[in-house]
Homo-oligomer: A and B are copies of this chain.
Amino acid sequence: MATQFGERIRELRTKQNMLLRQLASLLDVDTSIISKVERGDRQLKKEQIPLLAQVLKADVEELQTLWLADQIYAVVKDEKFANEAMQVADKKINFKKNKK
Per-residue contact bits, chain A 74-100, to B (CB 8 Å; 1 contact, 0 not)? 011101111111101110111010000
Q: Number of A residues whose C-beta is below 8 Å from B?
A: 30
Interface residues of A (CB under 8 A from B): 1, 4, 61, 64-66, 68-73, 75-77, 79-86, 88-90, 92-94, 96
25 A-B contacts (beta carbon < 8 Å)? A1-B92, A61-B81, A64-B79, A64-B80, A64-B81, A65-B81, A65-B85, A66-B85, A66-B88, A68-B75, A68-B85, A69-B89, A69-B92, A70-B89, A71-B75, A71-B85, A72-B76, A72-B86, A72-B89, A75-B75, A76-B93, A82-B93, A83-B93, A86-B89, A86-B93
